[in-house]
Amino acid sequence: MNAFSPIQVPLIQVAGAYPDIPNDDYHGREICPAPSISSTGLKKLVGAIGLQTKGATPRHYWEGSALNPNRRPQEKTDALRLGSAFHDALLLPELWQDRNVYHVTPEGFSRSKTKAMAGEIADAEAAEAAGCVIVSADERDQIDAMVAAMRANPTCDALLSDGRPEVTLAWQDKETGVWLRIRPDWLRDNLSCGINVKTAADASHNGFQADVTKYRYFMSAALELDGIEAIMGKCPPLYVHPVIEKPAKGWQLGDYLPVALWTLSDDDLAYGRALNRRAIQTFADCLSADRWPSYADEPAECGVSPWMRKTINELIGEEA
């Protein structure tokens, strides 16, 4: 099939690149002919292979996946709302400008001002009932400033040109047969690099390095590059995170917003591929057995941490 042929319904039957699958469908339902998993799911499954953190187990994955017929809708936190709005403003500006999608409340808006802002409150409630995302005037200004800062960086602006945003790629893993899917922020026409835009409280080297580690961005990058190669026949030689530092408290229009372009090394991507491979196998095994273990379903050792052991050993050594 043509790599970018449009589809009539948001349901994937064969491996390929699909530009027209709505974001809500991608995240909210099963879009492949069999259970599929994205990078977000793989990160939860690494809890089964020795990298367990809160909420990272096969059972946690199952609870929030389309496999669970009674799963709860994802909570729309402010961070998710604003993050999604920023991505739309940067990558899908026509969506950001559509007031049937985003409703911007006026300056000084408050639902507690029931008399002074009765009309504005009614407008916001009607927009909310119609499914619009509510954004305050201050939030709109900050998002527009973040977009302007990224576009003012010539390299960043060039990277986010000549391509398509939010293309869904889906394929079957050769080793296990399970379906995998990705949704790159921006898929360049020449496939010169993989791109994932990020916001960060700290866009400095140390700050973003901590985010790469904590949120396992290297796993997402590795899966994205492998998916592009599987569908497009070419693996981009580089992976770039264009990062914008989020406005801090007290920020005002005109204040500087740092932009950084951070890449991942071949070693980082190799780590990501290694963890993805083990997580994909875990997904296949769980599907086959229809068993999704949690933290410790049977008795398992959990005692003194390595750093405390080291501290105690040093203390014992000093007293000996």
Q: What is the pLDDT of residues 246-302, one digit of tens each?
A: 999 999 999 999 999 999 999 999 999 999 999 999 999 999 999 999 999 999 899
Q: 110-114, 184-188, 195-199, 306-310: which range is least confident on average?
A: 110-114
In a domain, 105, yes or no: yes
In a domain, 90, yes or no: yes
In a domain, 88, yes or no: yes
In a domain, 31, yes or no: no
Token pair for 67: 């496999």
d(CA 221, CA 37): 15
Q: Which comes out higher in pLDDT, residue 51 or 222?
A: 222
Domain that holds residue 100: 76-152
pTM (2 d.p.): 0.89
- Non-local (6+) Cβ contacts of 262 within 8 A are 205, 208, 212, 240, 241, 243
- pLDDT value at position 28? 86
In 173-277 the beta strands, taken as DSSP E runs, fall at 179-182, 186-188, 194-195, 198-200, 239-245, 259-263
Helix (H), strand (E) at residue 168:
strand 168-172
In a domain, 59, yes or no: no
d(CA 105, CA 287): 46
| Total count of domains within the chain | 1
d(CA 222, CA 278): 13
Highest mean pLDDT among 7-16, 83-92, 113-122: 83-92
Q: 39-48, 70-79, 127-136, 299-308: which range is least confident on average?
A: 70-79
Of all residues in the chain, the percent with pLDDT exceeding 70 is: 96
With bands split at pLDDT 50, 70 and 90, how would you rate the model's confidence at 130?
A: very high
- pLDDT value at position 51? 77
The mean predicted confidence, pLDDT, of the chain is 92
CA neighbor of 194 nearest in space, from 94, 275, 262, 267: 262
